């Protein structure tokens, strides 16, 4: 027989020009369902004004990131059983450190812009002619087309990051993790972007990013690794070996 729990979903609500508040929705769930299923049940059967982001439902798109009881999670792979208990309340809030568009949906633009700035483009624009006849540079400099493929660009790391909370100009864990994969020696403009006060040196080694990353990117370790690369390049240039 399917196990049933009664839970209360306490959902953060915020519309333009309206004060922030929480709405509560009582529901019966199978504890092996996922948190996203419970959020969707609210929208489908209780409140059609609830706004949230989702797409693939299998942890590939990174769209359904939210704070569950204060901790960043991909809601499509977070079983209800893992974050609450029968008769208890489950608090659902939008990611931090991004502007709220509506309720649980945030504007992820700053993450995409920073990924683009460091050269890890989510989409590489090409023309039809280039596909027919690939330019020679495609073979010469593959780093131009490299991106950190494990990163879902879900933004959980940015939301959990205590530095991003206090400094909107910080490049952030995911972009810095992606920069670690790019050959800095061949990209002086990238080196100056990460080697500055809003780049690798702003990180406080809290490793909150690594703790919440659902894709084992381990951005904290990658940022430390990137620091090592920057220091090594500086030493090399000091001794004329760059």
By CB under 6 A, name the binding residues for ligand SF4.
62, 151-157, 173-174, 177, 213, 215, 217, 219
29 versus 160: smaller Cβ distance to ligand SF4: 160
Determine the Cα–Cα distance for residues 233 and 82; give it in Å rounded to an integer: 45
Dihedral class, residue 205 (left if φ above 0, else alpha if ψ from -120 to 50, else beta): left
103 versus 153: smaller Cβ distance to ligand SF4: 153
Cα pseudo-dihedral 202, 208, 115, 224, rounded to 10:
60
Determine the Cα–Cα distance for residues 72 and 154; give it in Å rounded to an integer: 10
User: In 3-state terms, what secondary structure has residue 91?
Assistant: strand
Give the other-Cβ count within 10 Å of 30's Cβ.
13
232 in Cβ contact with 197 (< 8 Å): no
52 versus 175: smaller Cβ distance to ligand SF4: 175
13 versus 202: smaller Cβ distance to ligand SF4: 202
74 in Cβ contact with 214 (< 8 Å): yes
118 in Cβ contact with 154 (< 8 Å): no
151 versus 163: smaller Cβ distance to ligand SF4: 151
72 versus 103: smaller Cβ distance to ligand SF4: 72
Instruction: Report in angstroms how near the CB of residue 137 gets to ligand SF4 at its nearest.
Output: 28
Angle at 163 between CA 162 and CA 169, to 5 degrees: 140
């Amino acid at each position: 027989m399917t196990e049933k729990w009664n839970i209360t979903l306490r959902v953060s609500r915020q519309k333009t020009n309206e004060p922030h508040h929480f709405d509560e929705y009582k529901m019966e769930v199978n504890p092996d369902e996922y948190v996203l299923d419970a959020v969707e049940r609210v929208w489908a059967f209780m409140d059609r004004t609830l706004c949230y982001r989702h797409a693939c439902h299998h942890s590939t798109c990174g769209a359904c990131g939210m704070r569950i009881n204060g901790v960043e999670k991909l809601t499509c792979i977070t079983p209800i059983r893992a974050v609450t208990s029968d008769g208890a309340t489950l608090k659902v809030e939008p990611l931090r450190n991004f502007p709220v568009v509506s309720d649980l949906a945030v504007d992820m633009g700053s993450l995409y812009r920073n990924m683009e700035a460091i050269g890890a483009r989510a989409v590489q624009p090409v023309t039809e002619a280039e596909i027919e006849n690939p330019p020679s540079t495609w073979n010469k400099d593959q780093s131009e087309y490299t991106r950190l493929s494990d990163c879902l660009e879900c933004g959980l790391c940015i939301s959990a990051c205590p530095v991003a909370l206090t400094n909107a100009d910080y490049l952030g864990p995911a972009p810095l993790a992606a920069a670690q994969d790019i050959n800095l020696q061949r990209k002086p403009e990238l080196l100056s972007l990460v080697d500055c006060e809003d780049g690798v040196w702003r990180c406080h080694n809290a490793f909150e990013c690594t703790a919440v990353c659902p894709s084992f990117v381990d951005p904290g370790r990658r940022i430390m690794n990137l620091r090592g690369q920057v220091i090594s390049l500086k030493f090399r240039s000091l001794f004329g070996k760059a």
